[in-house]
Amino acid sequence: MEKEVLIIGGGVIGLSIGREVRKRGVKRINIIEAGECGGEASWAAAGMLGPQAEADEAGAFFEFCIESRGLYPSLANELLDETGTDVELDRAGTLYLAFSDDDVRILRQRFQWQNEAGLAVEHLDASEVRRAEPFVSPDVREALYFPNDWQVDNRKLCTALRQYCEINGIEITERTRVDRLITDQGRITGVRAGGVSYMADQVIIAAGAWTTQILFGEKRIPLKVVPVRGQMLAFHTAKRLFERVIYSSGGYIVPRRDGRILAGSTTEEAGFDRETTDSAAAALFEMACVIAPSLGNLEIADHWAGLRPRSPDGFPVIGRIEGIDGLYLATGHYRNGILLAPATAQIVAADIVEGKPSGYAAVFSPDRFHLGAIRTGN
Ligand code: FAD
Ligand code: GLY
């Protein structure tokens, strides 16, 4: 019998999984999306592919991030061929600026361990930074340059992934919220959404910050994936002022091809509220002006918020729950879901289609949170 796969959530994770499962030969795939595909965190993100700029130490999570980043050049080319959409993978690299003694100390530590690990990282003094990026503040003391930390236009990425799905016969059901999983003798056999039952051999939850709102029987899945709000500003310029993504300890700016300069971000526990606030706009404006004072002269073109999905330990939750057939989780990507989408999709598809569990299975398994209660119904 041909396998039927149902994916709950059409963000970057759900869409990427749909594409990868299709590529491995599954023909019957349905993505059920509560709103519009790519309309939540995946739309709000900054699109940075920056594991080296963000990491304080090596480890399995860091390796996974590096692996996923490495998939982007071929993904961008394939999506262009498959859909005609350019996802604007920008490989100019990322600068991390130091303004204070603390920043300098952290930067030097990061340079040392990444250099020792054989990763591409360069140390720049203040004059080299200002030569590379003339609009950076004269207060900058030094910087690290990560040539392989890139950026992608996350909104175009979701558009391209969605186009791939449409072109390749993946059914997309939008404005339809999955309320509960259908169980039959301990196995998940489908979902209920808007009063309709959708049956499937394999259900994948890729519902981001809303993961735990989906009912399992009469209860919520006992996994605390919580929403963490992030707000962003966009400045508008007629011409591009910066070449690279620029980080500081206070936040980051991301220059886009269309002239916008994104400035992010806040990290707030505000439940499912994704309203923007004046205080966050002021803080982001100030942070951006520390990086580059001339940003203060630009018009603010936009201000938005999105909800990052954070698991209890901050790492992704990818895999089956032991003892429950027919269900797979791909959630909790927190600050790195755009970066991690290609590698996540590959390990999910390899596991469910080809029965090849990934080496990361133990690290990201839902079972690390001891979800036994879901099995027993307790
Ligand atoms: P989402 O994009 O939120 O998608 C989940 C989807 O599931 C939603 O569309 C939702 O409507 C749907 N859904 C939920 N419940 C149901 C249901 N019951 N039935 C049907 N559908 C449902 N990551 C990076 O890698 N780089 C960055 O630079 C970066 N910057 C960020 C900046 C900000 C301000 C924010 C907020 C996030 C940022 N992130 C970044 C993180 C990244 O956006 C997320 O990790 C990623 O988008 C998560 O993808 P997702 O598909 O799991 O979630
Ligand atoms: N990874 C950037 C952010 O979450 O703001």
Q: Considering every ligand atom, which ligand is closest to the CA of 54?
A: 2
Task: Please tell me the distance between residue 358's alpha carbon and the centre of ligand 2 in angstroms.
Answer: 26
Atom in ligand 2 nearest the alpha carbon of residue 264: 5
**Predicted confidence (pLDDT) per residue in 14-49, tens digit:** 999 999 999 999 999 999 999 999 999 999 999 999
Residues 124 and 132 sit within 8 Å (Cβ to Cβ): yes
Q: What letters, b where the CB count within 10 A reaches 16 and e where it falls short, cover 244-263?
A: bbbbbeebbbbbbeeebbbb
List the one residue out of 162, 335, 342, 156 whose CA is nearest residue 256. 156
Atom 33 of ligand 1 has which residue's CA nearest to it?
Answer: 45
So what's the pLDDT on residue 373? 53
Q: Ligand 2 atom 5: the closest Cα is on which residue? A: 265
Ligand number nearest CA of 18 is 1
- β-bridge mates for residue 148, sequence order: none
pLDDT at 372: 64
In this structure, are residues 238 and 257 in contact, taking their beta carbons and an 8 Å threshold?
A: no
| Cα 208 to middle of ligand 1, angstroms | 5
Give the closest residue (by CA) to ligand 2 atom 4. 335
Please name which ligand lies nearest the alpha carbon of 345: 1
Protein residue closest via CA to atom 12 of ligand 1: 9
Strands laid side by side in the 196-199 sheet:
196-199, 187-193, 178-184, 215-216, 219-220
State the Rg of the chain over Cα: 21
Which mutation among 48, 308, 344 tests ligand 1's pocket best, with the greatest number of atoms within 8 A of CB?
308
Cα 241 from Cα 263, distance rounded (Å): 14
Question: What is the per-residue pLDDT across 59-109, written as a single tens digit (0 to 9) for each?
Answer: 999 999 999 999 999 999 999 999 999 999 999 999 999 999 999 999 999
Residue 12 CA: which ligand 1 atom is closest?
51
Atom of ligand 1 nearest to the CA of 307: 36
- Cα 104 to ligand 1 centroid, rounded to whole Å: 33
Give the pLDDT score at 377. 44
Question: What pLDDT digit, counting tens, does each position of 141-192 carry?
Answer: 999 999 999 999 999 999 999 999 999 999 999 999 999 999 998 899 999 9
Q: Which atom of ligand 2 sits closest to the CA of residue 338? A: 1
What lies within 8 Å, CB to CB, of 300 at 6+ separation is 233, 234, 235, 236, 281, 285
Report the chain's mean pLDDT, rounded to a whole number.
Answer: 95
Residue to mutate (ligand 1; options 16, 32, 33; most atoms within 8 A of CB)? 33
Over residues 315-362, the pLDDT tens digits come to 999 999 988 899 999 999 999 999 999 999 999 999 999 999 899 988
Q: Take residue 145 and report the two structure tokens written for it.
A: 């340059």
Q: What is the pLDDT of residues 231-260, one digit of tens each?
A: 999 999 988 899 999 999 999 999 999 999
Beta partners for residue 235, in sequence order: 261, 300
Beta bridge mates, 234:
262, 302
What 8-state DSSP symbol labels residue 314? Answer: S
Angle between helices 337-354 and 60-83 (to 10 degrees): 80
Q: What is the pTM of this model?
A: 0.97
pLDDT at 322: 87
Which residues line the pocket of ligand 1, CB cutoff 6 A? 8-14, 32-35, 39-42, 44-48, 177-178, 206-210, 214, 230, 232, 264-265, 306, 308-309, 331, 333-339
- Placement of tokens 């899945």 in the chain: 221
